[in-house]
Structure 1
């Protein structure tokens, strides 16, 4: 059992602190936050790889922990809390990707600003992009990021490897497997 020690007091177990929080003692929750804030920060930072985003996400994780505490069933508190932190960080990461896609869409739209006589071409291009995006959702999740990064965001292997904190060879392998999957599962007619 993990213990918190305050100046001049005996150690207090997580179970006792949790019970006090459930009884309305906010100071007990502050002690839990103080005890686990570094663990929560490290967990979300491992996923997000951005100091500011990780700080914000860690605060949001503690709010989730506070509101979810009545559902806590006494299994390892640190494990339970870490699972909440990981899930929240993954959600934040997904939102970041969606925001990037929206920015790319806005930039594409600005680049496509054309005279009226080519509106038909613009509509066809939008439909094609929409189709590619919907098809991209069919791709297994572990290939999606590398396909998006290489073909839509036009990043180099080195950029993607650096962002994902992996070797360039890993990116090459993922992209090769993603292409193989697409050849096997998609027909050229789907895009014409």
Structure 2
């Protein structure tokens, strides 16, 4: 008995898909490249936004961003680049929400992290700065990193951070203040600020 011996399509490597999209701008190619990562992007967005609907919207917004960004920039490692784009998109979204809500720092709040948003024209410069910030965050002591993430990314006050981590409230203030200072030094020493 003979079995059907038709050609089985081999999966196209990501590098070839990226090159094809960059050359021809076929959104179907980009969709095929992006689809396997949609769950990962959703997970990253949910980690930062803490809202299912906002995270689903962010998955689509990240895709829309890729439509233009991948035509302009050559990407060698799609997965890690996509993670950075998703993370930075969420950080920008959180920051924008904070600014548009007219959120003034409460009396127990610190000033902003040592990174400034300029204009939409500087998105890739901003992404570089956010990458540097993320790299520098990883260098902090775990107590400082956890306190800073809860304070800035989840907008928790000192009291809530102390309750969640078990740290003394004075220690939380110290971790944030010293961590912020170390972040600034780290970012400046990397020439990214």
Normalization by structure 1: what TM-score? 0.55
Residue 167 (1) aligns with residue 165 (2): yes
More helix by share: 1
Q: 2:111 aligns with which of 137, 142, 148?
A: 137
- Give the deviation of 1:169 after TM superposition: 2.1
Number of residue equivalences: 137
Q: Deviations over 1:80-127 (max 9, x none)?
A: 11111111111111123234445x89xxxxxxxxxxxxxxxxxxxxxx
Of structures 1 and 2, the one scoring higher in RCO (CA 8 A, sep 6+) is 2
Is the alpha carbon distance of 1:168 and 1:140 closer, same or farther for their aligned partners in structure 2, counting shifts above 3 Å? farther
Matches within 5 A, 1:114-153: 136-137=110-111, 142=148, 145=151, 150=157
Rounded Cα–Cα distance in structure 1 between residues aligned with 2:48 and 2:27:
29
Normalization by structure 2: what TM-score? 0.55
Write out the 4+ residue segments of structure 1 that deviate beyond 4 Å after TM superposition. 138-141, 176-180
- Unpaired runs of at least 5, structure 1: 1-7, 106-128, 151-155, 181-192
> What RMSD over aligned residues (CA atoms) do the two structures have, in Å?
3.9
Is the alpha carbon distance of 1:89 and 1:172 closer, same or farther for their aligned partners in structure 2, counting shifts above 3 Å? farther
- Give the deviation of 1:140 after TM superposition: 6.7
Which residue in 1 is equivalent to 2:19? Answer: 19
Matches within 5 A, 1:66-105: 66-102=67-103
Which protein shows a greater Rg?
A: 1
1:47–1:90 CA contact under 8 A, matched in 2: yes
Which residue in 2 is equivalent to 1:115? Answer: none
2:44–2:86 CA contact under 8 A, matched in 1: yes
Is the alpha carbon distance of 1:21 and 1:98 closer, same or farther for their aligned partners in structure 2, counting shifts above 3 Å? same
Which residue in 2 is equivalent to 1:189? Answer: none
Which residue in 2 is equivalent to 1:157? Answer: 159
